[in-house]
Amino acid sequence: MTANTLNDTNEASVHDSTTELGHDEHHDHKMTGLKRWLLTTNHKDIGTLYLWFAFIMFLTGGALAMVIRAELFQPGLQLVEPDFFNQLTTVHGLIMVFGAIMPAFTGFANWMLPMMVGAPDMALPRMNNWSFWILPFAFAILLSSFFMESGAPNFGWTFYAPLSTTYSNGSTAFFVFAVHIMGISSIMGAINVIVTIMNMRAPGMTYMKMPLFVWTFFITAYLLIAVMPVLAGVVTMLLTDTYFGTSFFDAAGGGDPVMFQHIFWFFGHPEVYIMILPAFGIISTIIPAFSRKRLFGYSSMVYATSSIAFLSFIVWAHHMFTTGMPLFGELFFMYCTMLIAVPTGVKVFNWVATMWRGALTFETPMLFSIAFVILFTIGGFSGLMLAMTPVDFQYHDTYFVVAHFHYVLVTGSLFSIYAGAYYWLPKWTGHMYSNTLSKWHFWCSLISVNLLFFPMHFLGLAGMPRRIPDYALQFADFNKWVSIGGFAFGLSQLIFLAVVIKCIRGGEKAPAKPWDGAIGLEWTVASPAPYHTFSTPPPQKDIDNADQHEH
Amino acid sequence: MTDKAQTDTNTAKPHNKTVKKLLFVVLSMFGFGFALVPLYDIFCDITGLNGKTNTSAVNYQANGIDTSRLIKVQFITRNAQGVPWKFEPILNEINVHPGEMKVVSFYAKNNAQHDIIGQAVPSVSPGMAANYFHKIECFCFTQQPLKAAEEVEMGLQFYVDLALPKDINTLTLSYTLYDITAKSS
């Protein structure tokens, strides 16, 4: 990489903000107050709504986790009944998966995709409004069941039959309708993403010139439209089994409860990549920016993402090794699962190679990204351990599994969301965030998250089962540390809230491109991004500058 | 609204085409979810993966008896939650040669004050052995209506296939008893 190209990037033309503002006044349909948010079809407004909604859900799910950790602080039953404990773990999982991580990524997609491909808005703006505004209803339905006689769903976020059918506490109908609405919302969001990327790219932006961020969201959207309907199908079967006398999963009527697990995980495994592929996109944007180099191996990143997406469809039964599969099945799913480590390894090596000999600086987005690479890799390794059939028989349903998926979802997905939020906050708000506070947020989160999740590996290896409100005495010390880590991590997230509010209210004025190594069309518009951007497509020069290939 | 006007005039047509294609994918995947149900049954039938045995009577078709092998067949029973029947095998286990026909019986008594229709659902472990366990006659092929306090002895006639894989020496046949009174009325 030569100094010359660096300069080119730095001098990427900044659109005249006055014309953009004039454009705004001309249209003059930015309504005020509540109506603006209810009726908005603007991708930036909807992105903001998604992000705030995700953060509120994150705090809600986090509050449930705090109660879980308080109960597990010491052995014995102190605070909650076992049945309520099951409701807590179930709703915590559902909210974090469907309410926090997925909407947060959809928020990023809405805010950034049109700007990154040089489009004026998402392709289907009114459907966009609809897909967001049905979400609060889904979670209102889900959470309201806490206040009902039956209680909230208590069968685990994986809602295995017959726990959710024969042995349901009566919350199944509310749960199913909530999941249906979440599914419809995700499908509409995904259709919007695909149509935007396929039809609205600025002239001159070929598929292989798209930022990797766009690629990962593109592939994720395909995964969503492929598996969310399967989820809708399986919860429908659950509903009719529970209330209308069908026997999809009921052995008495010729059904099979193990089949539930097959159909659920046929959705469930691609679902976990739906929650991590966008993270790969965000990290692949940020690491090059603060390494002041182009992304190492852009094309291999695209192919790696596609292979991960493809492989995700043929590995589902690794969640079910202990259901009594024949040896051939176990070997097939074990080898396919281990194969995923290859494209994932390609990505990790590419990120490291991008940093290699780069002019690194450690702004908060970069800190979160580096933490992501290291900690997500730890989660990946524990995943490899779980993929091995013989040892999985020991690890299955223990805290080792809990440690694994929290490393990939919290220090993976969530950290990438924080990295992305810090990276684009200046673009969103027009102000720089507080550097000191954001560093506090990072270091507190980093230390507490490891205190929270790392000892869980040992607990799991020692045999502590997941989803239990009480445990044997020998697990007491580790659980105490885990709980302290949990409370600290929970509190640390309030720092982020403070940073964001402060940043919206004011702060150092952000230039159009606050990061000197950043590339991408979003930095060619003013900060904060005008209400309407790229009403006319960006010039070819800007598109070429945004190309992530190494030159 | 201006957004709408913009969308409708400039770009609605190509979008509609893409949206239709994507909706087609969504609907087919929804259908595929349901298609997995019969596909799963067919797949398990062919491979005998999930321990399901034949659900209707088969004829005895073995060519002789392999006296060199002795297979231990164990019987276990289990009531689904809240079924007030006493339900147990008369013999807990039996040794058979592959190809040899055997008859065993199970005892059931309705301990409730009311009539109950029961249905026993069999399953063989290890699952791979299910295709080699042939039932010539079984009480599980039909429903079992028992009046209050009525008791019955129910027969099972079976043989183990000569082709049973060499590494399988013990079979466990498990019956789970369900109350299907509500469903069959």
Write the pLDDT tens digit of every residue in A462-503: 999 999 999 999 999 999 999 999 999 999 999 999 999 999
Classify residue A382 as exposed, middle or buried by CB count within 10 Å of its CB (0-12, 13-18, 19+).
buried
Contact predicate A354/A363, CB 8 Å = no
- Check A284, A364, A434, A448 and give the catalytic one: A284
Average pLDDT for residues A52-70, to the nearest whole number?
97
Tokens of A248: 């999809």
Give the dihedral sign, CA A334/A337/A343/A349: negative
Between A and B, how many residue pairs show a Cβ–Cβ distance under 8 A? 113
* Selection from B132, B125, B120, B134 nearest residue B77 by Cα: B120
Average pLDDT for residues A238-249, to the nearest whole number?
92
DSSP-assigned letter for residue A524: G
Q: Which amino acid, one-letter code, is at B32? A: F
Q: Which amino acid, one-letter code, is at A255? A: G
Name the phi and psi angles at A370, rounded to 5.
Answer: -65, -40
Of B48 and B95, the one with more pLDDT: B95
Share of chain A above pLDDT 90, in %: 87
Annotation marks residue A271 as catalytic: yes
> How high is the pLDDT of residue A338?
95
Sole residue written with tokens 């990946």: A380
Whether residue B9 has pLDDT greater than 80: no
Rounded distance between C-alpha atoms, residue A468 and residue A180, angstroms = 28
Rounded to a whole number of angstroms, the distance between the first and last alpha carbons of chain A is 7
A218 touches chain B (CB under 8 A): no
Find the CB nearest B3 among A41, A227, A248: A41
Q: Indicate the SS3 state at residue B176.
A: strand
Name the phi and psi angles at B115, rounded to 5.
Answer: -75, 145
> How high is the pLDDT of residue A8?
41
**Pairing between strand B93-96 and B116-125?**
unpaired
Whether residue B52 has pLDDT greater than 90: no
Helix axes A277-291, A212-243, angle to 10 degrees: 160
Share of chain A above pLDDT 70, in %: 94
Find the CB nearest A229 among B30, B121, B125: B30
> How high is the pLDDT of residue A451?
97
Average pLDDT for residues B36-41, to the nearest whole number?
90
Annotation marks residue A347 as catalytic: yes
Tell me the shortest Cα–Cα distance from B67 to chain A, in angstroms: 27
B12 touches chain A (CB under 8 A): no
Query: pTM for the full model?
Result: 0.89
Sole residue written with tokens 């309708």: A177
- How many residues does the structure list for chain B? 185
* Selection from A86, B24, B184 nearest residue A94 by Cα: A86
Determine whether the interchain pair B3/A125 forms a contact, defined as Cβ–Cβ distance below 8 Å.
yes
Rounded distance between C-alpha atoms, residue A399 and residue A459, angstroms = 6
Mean pLDDT score across all residues of chain A: 92
Of A279-283, A386-390, A473-477, B176-180, the range with the lowest mean pLDDT is: B176-180
Write the pLDDT tens digit of every residue in A404-443: 999 999 999 999 999 999 999 999 999 999 999 999 999 9
Give chain B's count of helices (H) and strands (E). Answer: 3, 9
Contact predicate A124/A201, CB 8 Å = no
Contact predicate A230/B29, CB 8 Å = yes
Write the pLDDT tens digit of every residue in A316-354: 999 999 988 888 889 999 999 999 999 999 999 999 999
Whether residue B75 has pLDDT greater than 50: yes
- How many residues does the structure list for chain A? 551
Rounded distance between C-alpha atoms, residue A513 and residue A457, angstroms = 42
Annotation marks residue A269 as catalytic: yes
Mean pLDDT score across all residues of chain B: 86
Q: Which amino acid, one-letter code, is at A186? A: S
Under the banding of pLDDT at 50, 70 and 90, the label for residue B82 is confident
Give the count of beta carbons closer than 10 Å to the beta carbon of residue A48: 19
User: DSSP labels for A110-130?
Assistant: HHHHHHHTT-SS-S-HHHHHH
* Selection from A411, A495, A485, A482 nearest residue A448 by Cα: A485
Rounded distance between C-alpha atoms, residue A327 and residue B168, angstroms = 13
The residues, ordered by sequence, that sit 6+ positions from A491 with a Cβ below 8 Å of its Cβ are: A444
B4 touches chain A (CB under 8 A): yes
Query: Residue B129's closest chain A neighbor by CA?
Result: A326
Contact predicate B116/B181, CB 8 Å = yes
Of B161 and A18, the one with more pLDDT: B161
Q: Indicate the SS3 state at residue B81.
A: coil
Contact predicate B124/B130, CB 8 Å = yes
> How high is the pLDDT of residue A196?
96
Query: Residue A235, Cα to own-chain centre: how many angstroms?
Result: 22
To which H or E segment does residue B89 belong? strand B85-89
Tokens of A135: 């979400």
Rounded distance between C-alpha atoms, residue A122 and residue A180, angstroms = 24
Under the banding of pLDDT at 50, 70 and 90, the label for residue B141 is confident
The residues, ordered by sequence, that sit 6+ positions from A398 with a Cβ below 8 Å of its Cβ are: A459, A460, A461, A463, A464, A465, A466
A54 touches chain B (CB under 8 A): no
Of A131 and A550, the one with more pLDDT: A131
> How high is the pLDDT of residue B126?
85
> How high is the pLDDT of residue B59?
82
Q: Give the full edge-to-edge strand order of the sheet including B116-125.
A: B93-96, B71-79, B170-179, B116-125, B144-146
- Check A466, A467, A480, A502 and give the catalytic one: A466
Helix axes A212-243, A172-199, angle to 10 degrees: 150
Tell me the shortest Cα–Cα distance from B19 to chain A, in angstroms: 7
* Selection from A192, A187, A179 nearest residue A234 by Cα: A179
Share of chain B above pLDDT 90, in %: 46
Alpha helices in A200-276 (DSSP H): 212-243, 257-274
Rounded distance between C-alpha atoms, residue A165 and residue A244, angstroms = 11
Sole residue written with tokens 């992530």: A548
Of B61 and A193, the one with more pLDDT: A193
**Pairing between strand B71-79 and B170-179?**
parallel
Determine whether the interchain pair B30/A232 forms a contact, defined as Cβ–Cβ distance below 8 Å.
yes
User: DSSP labels for B105-163?
Assistant: EEEEEE-SSS-EEEEEEEEEESGGGGGGEEEEEEGGGS-EEE-TT-EEEEEEEEEE-TT
> How high is the pLDDT of residue A6?
40
B167 touches chain A (CB under 8 A): no
Between vectors from CA A280 to CA A276 and to CA A283, what angle results, nearest 5°? Answer: 130
Find the CB nearest B33 among A124, A166, A263: A263
Give the dihedral sign, CA B15/B20/B22/B23: positive
Between vectors from CA A340 to CA A335 and to CA A341, what angle results, nearest 5°? Answer: 100
Which chain A residues have a beta carbon less than 8 Å from that of B121? Answer: 251-252
For residue A528, cis peptide bond before it (omega within 30 degrees of 0) = yes
Name the phi and psi angles at B122, rounded to 5.
Answer: -90, 155
Average pLDDT for residues A386-405, to the nearest whole number?
96
Average pLDDT for residues B41-69, to the nearest whole number?
79
Tokens of A474: 């020998």
